[in-house]
Amino acid sequence: MNFDDPQFYFNKQLSWLKFNIRVLEEANSDEEETPLLEKLKYLAITATNLDEFFMVRVSRIKDDIESGFNEADKSGYRPKELFNEISKTIHKIYNNQYKYFNKTIKKLETEGCIINVVKKKM
């Protein structure tokens, strides 16, 4: 068995994003299973995690690309390929974040937990 084969490895950045997708799915779970305010907490956790992800992890990948580093990691991803895969995944995560956030806010508003206030410019 060849343990250098990429099929035996997960990319840690993509694995980390998959973990955050699972956390985000808690924000879309059944309300009897997860209360509305808990859903907001899960949304906040994923938002904070993604901020850190971009500041630390994505910036390192961009540095690798800009410096011309092109070696594949153990999972078989080269920096540019990894960046593209991360980009696709992040777009899906952000779309779901906004969808779940709006859904949760509307539900909180319906239940009278928050009041929609619109300020008009005078």
pLDDT the model gives residue 112 = 81
- What global pTM score does this model have? 0.85
pLDDT the model gives residue 73 = 96
CA-to-CA distance for 23 and 28, rounded, in angstroms?
10
pLDDT the model gives residue 120 = 54
10-110 maps to CATH 1.20.58.310: yes
pLDDT the model gives residue 108 = 87
> Which residues have CB under 8 Å from 75's CB, separation 6+?
6, 9, 10, 11, 14
pLDDT the model gives residue 33 = 86
Q: What are the per-10-residue average pLDDT scores of the chain (122 residues)?
A: 90 97 94 89 96 97 98 97 98 97 90 65 52
